[in-house]
Chains A and B, each alone.
Chain A
């Protein structure tokens, strides 16, 4: 017997006139697990944020158990029995598990404002048991591994007796073993007739877990079907709207044998260990690793943002000492950071001011007096060549651009310095498929022009699509190096998980 618990009808949402979600209609039954897949920017998070009350839809209606549902904020969604387990977990890492469980309402002693500690402890213990997490209830969350934190979130959802649970990319920061444990718990939640929405990039997991799967593309629902009718390839074709072979520009290696950057024995305690590699002109070198493998930290050390105890970095045979971002820029190294908003852009400044920021001194008489004509012409030249879509680059503010265009602005600001070594950290995170393709083309063209490129990514497929060589990192070490002809998704993943130990409970 089945009855719908949750229904979406023609739900839509736009940001600044750009539709993020259009006319989505879905129907979920009690105890059903719906997998939701789609490229970045396809509207998955928007849809989940609407359900979780984080944002309000412009159009359409939602129904829960036959009643209209229109939450004005997350707490209303929570009261309606919807728990949202975010990709970046929403726990207070400085507080204990118990405090986190009851942060929005501790059990009280009778009707006094005093906390009933014993009752809180008992309840916490019970819910931790339900998620098979065997740690003391007063453990500070900071000391828990990512997988364990997630279990705490789930326990919290259970404590609020959530009937519908949203998982947004739950496995991104988990080890294989932690993921398995999560899946077992999800299985148990389904037995208890809870409804689950499971958003993930890992199509294999989705296929294995789901009863039915919804594919989103460019804000629209492509199709919803029983999971048994899907294959991974079919999902990809629907997500992308074209064949996988068209995702990446054709690969021609332009790698030379001339070294552009040489790294030897780079070590920083607890971050990276004994990193040695060399990067040649025209080469596209990929670095693959899971979260916490040290991949981004390596890039930050190379560029001089973070310190490093041992090891050497040399450019063109010269040892680089006392590296700082400023030195690196003078050494013709560029760094497109992982996080555009926080480290890549001045969100309030115009496209032109953003792009000119790094290379300003080249366009200034005496190093200080800006020659505005030259800045404008150089910036617009690069903006054109990168096909940045902005109304007017001198007035449009960076925050009003789409993710893809923002990323192009970040790349553009570094291209203005005419770099010889370009480090890219997650260059296509959070941008749509079309923009991704354009960025791959930019990378290819730069390599063809002799730029040495170090591309860090958590999407293995992407690295396989564009790199000449891939370094695999785990636990701060390079576990293996693969030349293009040896690329093997399974072996690379095995190495990436190697030594990825499940953490103990003690801090």
Chain B
């Protein structure tokens, strides 16, 4: 399969759609498509690192929720006492004047920093559990998914935190802010994967961890780093989504996990580890965004959309498995012991 197969597939699909729904090429819809693409891409790029080392990060969406809440608790400029009086942090860092730094000029930079650091820290916990305690990635990140989404709800008593600084909200308006963030992360990821020794180590650890270990690759460190980056990207995504919604939301990213893994798998990033490129992630996200957009255009309800998305991802995963099986067959012994 060529590198650009999924791009052609996306364009073909878009063209066919255009025949049936000409409105899809309207500037408003294109702008909509583009502003949906970039936040998802930031998440998929992080997920890709974990997939490359042969893991999976199910906790990305709950990292989004918890960082969204924490960021807002730093930045919010006003909180309604009726809603927040029972909050465990009321009177500690929350008050009628908002979050910890509500109103201060430091609110924005500190808020963003707190979000990114929290994301990276949760990634670190995931990574250490996988690499040092040798726990299965699925289990580790499933547990953190529940734990941190629970934490996000506990911290806010299910209330959204509004009144975020104007500078923060501006990040979410249109596609420019999210495009810049996604571009920076994509370039960084591309540079690491294709130009740095670390990149080779990531692939090596994912392809065959024993070979990597014997070859002197610091496998534990490499795996931990992948999860840290995934958490960091989730936090970056959280910034974009929170800014767009203009709130710290304890259920942010609730239905996004399928989209993240789906876009990665459709792009060709293998669930078996060792395979993945930034450009594949971009194409996967492109296809997935067009798909979601077209389903919305068809006025399908939420559940039908989920069913169709699920089927498409299933097909992509099936392709991945089939490819692995073909490889396995070609590995039969060529005679001899």
Interface segment among B30-38, B117-125, B207-215, B261-269: the answer is B207-215
Contact among A54, A349, A429 with B207 in the assembled complex (CB-CB below 8 Å)? A349
Question: Given the complex of chains A and B, what is the CA–CA distance between A361 and B334 in angstroms?
Answer: 35
Q: Cβ of B275 and Cβ of A367 under 8 Å apart?
A: no
With A21-B335, A361-B197 known as contacts, the answer to whether A343 contacts B203 (CB < 8 A) is no
Chain B nearest CB, measured from A349 CB (Å): 6
Q: Cβ of A370 and Cβ of B196 under 8 Å apart?
A: yes
Residue of B with least CB distance to A201? B337
Q: Is A276 an interface residue (CB 8 A)?
A: no
Chain A positions 187 through 212: 1 when the CB is less than 8 Å from some CB of chain B, otherwise 0: 00000000000000100000000000
Contact among A46, A329, A343, A369 with B216 in the assembled complex (CB-CB below 8 Å)? A329
Residue of B with least CB distance to A399? B331
Q: Number of residue pairs across A and B with beta carbons under 8 Å?
A: 118
Q: Which residues of B contact A16 (CB under 8 A)?
A: 330
Q: Cβ of B336 and Cβ of A41 under 8 Å apart?
A: yes
Q: Which residues of A contact B337 (CB under 8 A)?
A: 40, 45, 87, 169, 201, 429-430
Question: Given the complex of chains A and B, what is the CA–CA distance between A370 and B197 in angstroms?
Answer: 6
Q: Which residues of A contact B334 (CB under 8 A)?
A: 15, 18, 20, 41, 46, 402-403
B-side interface residues, number (CB < 8 Å): 29
Q: Cβ of B197 and Cβ of A43 under 8 Å apart?
A: no
Q: Which residues of B contact A335 (CB under 8 A)?
A: 214
Q: Is B286 an interface residue (CB 8 A)?
A: no
Chain B positions 210 through 227: 1 when the CB is less than 8 Å from some CB of chain A, otherwise 0: 111111111000000000
Q: Is B139 an interface residue (CB 8 A)?
A: no
Q: Is B78 an interface residue (CB 8 A)?
A: no
Q: Cβ of A325 and Cβ of B216 under 8 Å apart?
A: yes
Q: Is A30 an interface residue (CB 8 A)?
A: no
Residue of A with least CB distance to B191? A369
Contact among B198, B331, B332 with A368 in the assembled complex (CB-CB below 8 Å)? B198
Q: Is B200 an interface residue (CB 8 A)?
A: yes
Q: Which residues of A contact B275 (CB under 8 A)?
A: 348
Chain A nearest CB, measured from B209 CB (Å): 10
Q: Cβ of B335 and Cβ of A344 under 8 Å apart?
A: no
Q: Is B195 an interface residue (CB 8 A)?
A: yes
Q: Cβ of A49 and Cβ of B333 under 8 Å apart?
A: yes
Q: Which residues of B contact A357 (CB under 8 A)?
A: 200, 204, 211-212, 215, 217
Q: Cβ of B196 and Cβ of A368 under 8 Å apart?
A: yes
Question: Given the complex of chains A and B, what is the CA–CA distance between A432 and B195 in angstroms?
Answer: 37
Residue of B with least CB distance to A348? B207
Contact among A45, A342, A345, A413 with B336 in the assembled complex (CB-CB below 8 Å)? A45
Question: Given the complex of chains A and B, what is the CA–CA distance between A349 and B217 in angstroms?
Answer: 15
Q: Cβ of B215 and Cβ of A430 under 8 Å apart?
A: no
Q: Is A364 an interface residue (CB 8 A)?
A: yes
Q: Which residues of B contact A156 (CB under 8 A)?
A: none
Contact among B213, B274, B331, B336 with A346 in the assembled complex (CB-CB below 8 Å)? B274
Question: Given the complex of chains A and B, what is the CA–CA distance between A341 and B210 in angstroms?
Answer: 10
Chain A positions 32 through 72: 1 when the CB is less than 8 Å from some CB of chain B, otherwise 0: 00000001111111110100001100000000000000000
Question: Given the complex of chains A and B, what is the CA–CA distance between A303 and B214 in angstroms?
Answer: 9
Q: Which residues of A contact B92 (CB under 8 A)?
A: none
Contact among B195, B208, B330, B335 with A45 in the assembled complex (CB-CB below 8 Å)? B335
Q: Cβ of A46 and Cβ of B213 under 8 Å apart?
A: no
Q: Which residues of A contact B19 (CB under 8 A)?
A: none
Q: Is B327 an interface residue (CB 8 A)?
A: yes
Chain A nearest CB, measured from B43 CB (Å): 26
With A329-B216, A357-B204, A429-B337 known as contacts, the answer to whether A345 contacts B196 (CB < 8 A) is no
Residue of B with least CB distance to A339? B210
Question: Given the complex of chains A and B, what is the CA–CA distance between A292 and B324 in angstroms?
Answer: 33
Q: Is A353 an interface residue (CB 8 A)?
A: yes
Q: Cβ of A346 and Cβ of B204 under 8 Å apart?
A: yes
Q: Which residues of A contact B207 (CB under 8 A)?
A: 346-349
Q: Is A337 an interface residue (CB 8 A)?
A: yes
With A335-B214, A364-B197 known as contacts, the answer to whether A42 contacts B336 (CB < 8 A) is yes
Given contacts A43-B335, A347-B207, A353-B203, 5 further A-B contacts (CB under 8 A): A39-B336, A343-B210, A345-B208, A353-B200, A403-B334
The 5 closest A-B pairs by CB, nearest first: A40-B336, A46-B335, A41-B336, A329-B216, A346-B207
B residues near A (Cβ < 8 Å) are: 195-198, 200, 203-204, 207-208, 210-218, 274-275, 327, 330-337
Give me 6 A-to-B residue pairs in the complex whose CB atoms sit less than 8 angstroms apart, sorted by A's number.
A40-B337, A343-B208, A344-B214, A346-B212, A360-B200, A399-B330
